[in-house]
Structure 1
């Protein structure tokens, strides 16, 4: 079991790099600019609360995870161009994590097809908080920033 967990955590960290590289190539395409900028998987605040996104947000804000992406910190002086740049950084982070989630999901599916269901399950259990939840959190934060931008 420790071996499964170690592999899962390692592949999730690697997936962040894979997500950044693939996303860098996608950024230059029209598809990205038209379709991936405004993804929304969960619009409901109630559903976000049910799946524990608020708890995840607290963990990110109050643990060492807050040091990972320093570009996503709000300053005290807030104007429209600054909010747009923060929103752009959130989109980049969101897409990186989504690509990472899909990348790791292939490993989990490969283990499931290999009849190693427990290994695949452990991979997905680790993949969700390391890739899916950060992406969902970025989507929620982008919606909040969009409301701020409309007010300005």
Structure 2
């Protein structure tokens, strides 16, 4: 029974990826996206990220088939500042995709909980956390790191 719930949960989450991409594409040119959503930062502390296990998700993304899902997020040491800014924009898009996907699946969790199917609701929630919320937190962490790198570029540029 748990296998059935797990496979259903994974299916819903993969469907949510598409929903997240569609919603992001629809609002990407809006002021709300550019001012509010693109600057989200839920967890600013690297220590909290480490405690909750964002590093584990980072390892999974880097060392499994997930690394092939968004090839635009490849980072190379020989990149110039505009390449780094483009990667940051792609990370922002990916982060927002996952957040909308997370919200979409939460609606399923609420409906399932309301129907008193608690084990199924918990299973969907767990898979949603791992496959939508954690990748979004990972993108936020990476954006902070890129922000520091861009600051160094800007400081170097100002001193020259």
1:136: which partner in 2? 137
Shift of 1:62: 1.0
Q: State whether structure 2 residue 24 is matched by structure 1 residue 23.
A: yes
Once residues 85 and 20 of structure 2 are traced to their aligned partners in structure 1, the CA distance between those partners, rounded to angstroms, is 22
Deviation at 1:76, TM superposition (A): 3.1
Q: Give the Å deviation of 1:61.
A: 0.7
Query: Which structure's CA Rg is the greater one?
Result: 2
Matched ranges for 1:1-152 at <5 A: 1-152=2-153
User: 1:90-126, CA deviations, whole angstroms, 9 ceiling, x for partnerless residues?
Assistant: 0000000000000001101100011111110000011
Q: Following the alignment from structure 1 to structure 2, what is the Cα–Cα distance between the partners of residues 103 and 41?
A: 19
RMSD (CA atoms): 0.8
| Higher mean C-alpha deviation, range 68-77 or range 134-143 | 68-77
Paired positions, count:
152
Distance 1:3 1:133 in 2: 23
Work out the CA distance in 2 between the residues paired with 1:25 and 1:103. 15
Alpha-carbon distance in 1 for matches of 2:19, 2:56: 27
TM-score normalised to structure 1 length: 0.98
> Normalization by structure 2: what TM-score?
0.93
- Separation in 1, partners of 2:80, 2:149: 9
Unaligned runs of 5+ in 2: 154-160
Per-residue CA distance 1:37-89 (angstroms, 9 max, x = gap): 11000001110000011111111111111111100001231221111000000
- Secondary structure of residue in 2 paired with 1:88: helix
Alpha-carbon shift at residue 30 of structure 1 (Å): 1.1
Q: Kindly report structure 1 stretches of 4+ aligned residues shifted beyond 6 Å.
A: none
